[in-house]
Amino acid sequence: MAKFAQLLLPVVIATALFGCVSTPTRPENVVVDVVVNSQDSVSFEGKTLTLEELPACLRRAGVNPRAEIRVRFPDINNRQQIAQVYKLLMKYGYNRVMPVGERQISSHVEDAGKSRP
């Protein structure tokens, strides 16, 4: 019995040590925002990185593969770029990729002298 305890003790210690340094996983219902800056540059959580670095950065940040990832493209009509990002993220298990375009705001100012009917 004592020999079994001697064999088991290092396993318990290693499990406790490595369990403490693991990255917490974000819940899968969290929406993650990524911005595509150029053909091969993206921004995530204030960091600019290459497109190839994105999946590893998402994993280090604890992003669950089932989380929704909103990818903002400067040109939403660039299907080749959208496909490139989607294919890369799918390769690493991120299959809820939502492409979105740049937000546009417009306003209309009415003449202050006119009255409404």
Whether 74 maps to a domain, the answer reads yes
Q: In the numeric block, which tokens belong to residue 69? A: 């990832």
Whether 47 maps to a domain, the answer reads yes
End-to-end CA distance of the chain: 93
Structural domains counted in the chain: 1
State the pLDDT at residue 19.
40
Whether 93 maps to a domain, the answer reads yes
Whether 48 maps to a domain, the answer reads yes
Please check the confidence at residue 109 and state whether its pLDDT lies above 60. Answer: yes
12-55 pLDDT, tens digit per residue, is 454 444 443 444 555 656 788 999 988 789 999 989 999 999 99
Whether 34 maps to a domain, the answer reads yes
State the pLDDT at residue 97.
92
Which CATH number does the domain housing residue 85 bear?
A: 3.30.420
52-64 pLDDT, tens digit per residue, is 999 999 999 999 9
What are the start-end ranges of the H helices in the chain?
2-20, 54-60, 79-91
Whether 5 maps to a domain, the answer reads no
Q: What is the domain range of residue 62?
A: 26-100
> Could you tell me whether strands 41-44 and 31-36 are parallel, antiparallel, or unpaired per DSSP bridges?
antiparallel
Whether 78 maps to a domain, the answer reads yes
